[in-house]
Every structure is written in C-alpha cells, then in structure tokens.
Structure 1
Amino acid sequence: MSIVFKEVGKTYDNGVEALKNISVRIEQGEFITIIGLSGAGKSTFLKCVNRIHDVTAGELYVNDVNPNTLHGKDLRAYKRKIGMVFQSFNLISKTTVLRNVLASRVASMPWWKTALGLYSKADKIVALEALEKVGILEKAYTRADQLSGGQQQRVALARTVAQEPNVILADEPVASLDPITAKQVMDDFKRINEKENITVIANMHHVDLALQYAKRVIGIKDGLIVFDGPVDKVNEAVLVHVYGRKLTDDDYIGE
C-alpha cells in the first residue's frame, strides 16, 4: 500500500495552517518515525492518511485512490486497512483483553452478530494470534483495568493488528510509558513491521527512540517537511534544523 502526498496542505476551520505543501511517498513495509516539536503538524499528517481529517490543498493517494473521494461502504473498507494506535489506550476497562481485541473485528461482522457479541471462531483465532504477536497471550482473559500501562498499550497494538491492516499509524504511542516499557512496546512495533510487512508510521516525542527503531525519519517543522531521509543521515545539525534548538534531556527517554 503506497501513500503519496502531492503538495498537500491542511488548514483548519479556525485558520491554522497545519500542513504546507507536503510532498512525500511511502512504500509498503517501511518503518518511519516523524519528529518535530509539538504543534509542528505531525499528528495532522497521520490523521490525513486515515482520513480523520480531509486535506484542503493538493492531493493524497493511497494505492492510487484519493481517500477524500470515498464515502459510505468504500470509506469504511479503506479505514479497515489503516490501523491507528494512540497515546491513550482507548480500551474498555471492565471487559477482558480478548474482548477488547475482538472489537477490531466488528467492522466485518453483520450488525446482529455485533449486537449480540457473537464472534466467530476465526475472529477469535485472529485476536489470540494478535495477542501472541505482542507477547501477552497469557493475559487474554484478564480484565483490561488490571493491566499495567505498558500491557494496555500492547493490547491496543494487538487490537490494531487483529484489524489486519496494511498500515499502522501511531501517534506518540510510548510517550506516557517508562523507559523500559517504552522500549518493549517499540520492539513489538518493529517485530510486527518486519514479520508482517506492515507499514509503521509513528510520531515520536523521544528522539532516541525515533532514531533507534526507524529506518527512515521525517522531520516536520511549522507544517513543512524539513528533513526526509535514512536514519543514518540524521545528525546534530539535522536535529537543530528540525527543532530550532539544541535538544535537551527532555527530548530523550533516558534509562
């Protein structure tokens, strides 16, 4: 699934220009991290891909289809192939981990089965396999509110994997986690990217994690892409250009 931005702009109703003249191509199976200051446009970039937001200038194509033109059934089918992981876990706290993961299968079920919670054996297998891929299969029948923050984020990732997407978009997925747990979750993203050939595009607050896990880095500043290249080309001068300053300890996750 290729993603192509052609001179894309996004201006919100309040006049804020979040993206300006963005042109970039992303191929299936890439692992990309997006870096930049808060408010630079990183989240807007992701939300245009899964059409939480429509672009307001230029053109965006995903597998040669412009998602801004899709409606109804076609839009729902498009969104099923693009998973999203947020900083907040968005789990149903008082139900089991397995039930939370199975929620990703609802879009492909008849409405009456959804209403009755009648998941097929095949759906349950997909959900359990997704939990195994993130290393918490043993928690399948544990209530979500009994898990640690890191475990909850892994459930959120498993739920997205069970959706069987081509692309996973992650918006600051480890920003609220401690250093050790953050690395465990990023290891899950890397393993899924490599074994499943799922494209991962992650906005990252912590620069060291962004550089450790990505193969390609995109730097966004004031709505513009100011760097796009392989991780080994990111040096101090590039980071100063992206952030407009030298980085401090707060920009790194530490130990």
Structure 2
Amino acid sequence: MIRFEGVGKIYPNGYQGLIDINLEIQDGEFVGIIGTSGAGKSTLVRTINGLNDVTSGNLVVNGTDVAKLKGKELRKFRRKVGMIFQSYNLVPRITVLKNVLTAVVPEMSFFKVLFGIFSKEDKIKALEALDRMGILDKAYVRADQLSGGQQQRVSLARTLAQDSDIILADEPVSALDPVTAKEVMDDLKRINEELGRTILINIHHVELALAYASRIIAIKKGKIVYDGPSSEVTQKVLDEVYRKEEDSDPSTSEEN
C-alpha cells in the first residue's frame, strides 16, 4: 500500500510542487493521474520512489518510510518500485537483453558489473519478461534499432525482471502514435490484471486514462481536485482540472 499523509514538496526556487497530499493506494490498483503540464503529476509519481524528496508530511510505501532511505537502502527499495519513462531510459548501444538485465545491477558486485557476468537465473528471468512482452525475438538486437513502442516494452520487461510490486509510469505513451500508445496501455493493463502489479500512470491523454485506469486522481496546482472511479469523472470535473494555469512544475524538466 502507498500512503501519503499531508505530503508537501517545495522546490529550491520556492515553487510548491505538492500541497497537503493525502492518499491511500491499495495493492493491485490501476491509477491514472491527470492534470495540466505543471500541475504536479510528475512530482507526485516521483516522490514514491524517492526521485523527488518530500519536504513535509509522511510517505509510506509498503511499510517503508521513503524519506528515511539513503544510499544502498534507497537503491534496494527502488528494485520493488519499477519505473518507465517517456524517453524509455534504455542504453541504446547494448542489446535488449542486457538492458533488461540492468534491473539486477544494483545487487551485483563491481567485478560482475564490469565484465557483465549475470547468473543463469537472472538471464532466464529477463528472457521470460521479454517473452511476456512479446519481444523475445528482439533479445539480441541493439535497443536503438527498435521502434518506440518496442523500446517501451523493453522498459516494461525490465520492471518485470526486477520483480517490482509497483510500476510507476511517467508519461509512457506521449511520444508514441495513437495505435502504439494503445498497445502499450494494453500491456500495462495486462500486467496489472494478470500479475497484480500496482500501476500509477501520469498521463496527458485523458481518454486513455479513463479507458484503462480504474481510479483517477486529478491534480491542479499541486492539490488533488478529484479522486475517485474513472467511471464517475464528469465533464464538469475535467473542465475544472484543465482550466488554464499559469504556474509551471520544475519536475517536468528533462533533468528531473
């Protein structure tokens, strides 16, 4: 379970990314997070695995106080919280299989990482993850030779290979064409339903959020303005959420 208790996030420039966030997300939920650019969507998602620190309040993920994690403990925690990005976050010049195997690198010795020595079990798990994503035939192809949709599937396979209980998706389909975006959303839904993974997706495409997520959290200027079933999201709610804002969210920049 993910629990936010009065969570706030203030950036060094004074911008308030999150304001008094109170949420409980149960295991196995598929949650869509919507809002305008700069509303705080990315900030919310990235606090869950510690990419953004919490300025105030408490954030507990599966019994772990995220704010207290540092160094090795934080890296170990992140193995259970997979993340996929708009830019795929792959190493382009190595094979698909090796990209998936990077999921286990944090637990390996420096010597094994240096020479790329992976266990048989890790390789089998990585190949099984690629098979589940329908791209086993691309295992020995360089990542930069794949289409955008295939690269995003590699990112998903990597989260499966690291046995993530939670998958965070930060704008995972915004760089894809509509057909490919739907295919990736189908993959996320299948992972949620078949494997019981908790999925939180920050997404600009409202129609996709409503079609795939069972729960919608809408954020505006760092505050939650709607939290409920996707089936109950009305046009009035959407009009309120997407009314023009002037503020911007530093977390949406590439370096964050």
Q: Same fold (TM over 0.5)?
A: yes
The one-letter code of the counterpart of 1:112 is F
Q: For 2:182 and 2:108, how far apart are their aligned partners in 1?
A: 35
Which 10-residue stretch deviates more, 22-31 or 100-109? Answer: 100-109
The one-character-per-residue Cα deviations of 1:91-113 (angstroms, maximum 9, x if unpaired) are 11121111111111111222211
The one-letter code of the counterpart of 2:237 is V
Residue 64, structure 1, aligned to residue 63, structure 2: yes
Which 10-residue stretch deviates more, 210-219 or 138-147? Answer: 138-147
The one-character-per-residue Cα deviations of 1:207-251 (angstroms, maximum 9, x if unpaired) are 110111100000000000000001110111111121126xxxxxx
The one-letter code of the counterpart of 2:22 is S
1:101-140 → structure 2 map (5 Å cutoff): 101-140=100-139
Q: For 1:71 and 1:90, how far apart are their aligned partners in 2?
A: 22
Match of 2:5 in 1: 6
Checking the alignment, whether the CA contact within 8 Å between 1:133 and 1:188 is kept in structure 2 is no
Q: For 2:88 and 2:70, how far apart are their aligned partners in 1?
A: 28
Q: Structure 1: which 4+ aligned runs deviate by more than 6 Å?
A: none
* Partner SS for 2:150: helix
Match of 2:254 in 1: none
Match of 1:25 in 2: 24
Match of 1:198 in 2: 197
Which 10-residue stretch deviates more, 107-116 or 11-20? Answer: 107-116
Give the CA deviation at 1:65: 2.1
Match of 2:165 in 1: 166
1:74-223 → structure 2 map (5 Å cutoff): 74-223=73-222
Match of 1:251 in 2: none
Q: Alignment identity in percent?
A: 57
Q: For 2:211 and 2:67, how far apart are their aligned partners in 1?
A: 34
1:206-245 → structure 2 map (5 Å cutoff): 206-244=205-243
The one-letter code of the counterpart of 2:36 is L
Q: For 1:176 and 1:76, how far apart are their aligned partners in 2?
A: 28
* Partner SS for 1:99: helix
Q: For 2:177 and 2:145, how far apart are their aligned partners in 1?
A: 18
Give the CA deviation at 1:25: 0.2
Checking the alignment, whether the CA contact within 8 Å between 1:186 and 1:213 is kept in structure 2 is yes
TM-score, scaled relative to structure 2: 0.93
Q: For 2:217 and 2:132, how far apart are their aligned partners in 1?
A: 27
Q: For 1:212 and 1:135, how far apart are their aligned partners in 2?
A: 23
Give the CA deviation at 1:116: 1.0
The one-character-per-residue Cα deviations of 1:33-71 (angstroms, maximum 9, x if unpaired) are 100000000000011110011111111111232111122
* Partner SS for 2:164: coil
Q: Which segments of 5 or more consecutive residues in structure 2 lack a partner in the other structure?
A: 245-256
Q: For 1:74 and 1:145, how far apart are their aligned partners in 2?
A: 32
Please, what is the CA RMSD of the aligned residues? 1.0
Which 10-residue stretch deviates more, 141-150 or 174-183? Answer: 141-150
Q: For 1:97 and 1:73, how far apart are their aligned partners in 2?
A: 26
* Partner SS for 2:88: coil
Q: For 1:54 and 1:93, how far apart are their aligned partners in 2?
A: 29
Which 10-residue stretch deviates more, 127-136 or 66-75? Answer: 66-75
Q: Which segments of 5 or more consecutive residues in structure 1 lack a partner in the other structure?
A: 246-255
* Partner SS for 1:227: strand
Q: For 2:96 and 2:70, how far apart are their aligned partners in 1?
A: 32
Higher relative contact order (CA 8 A, sep 6+): 2
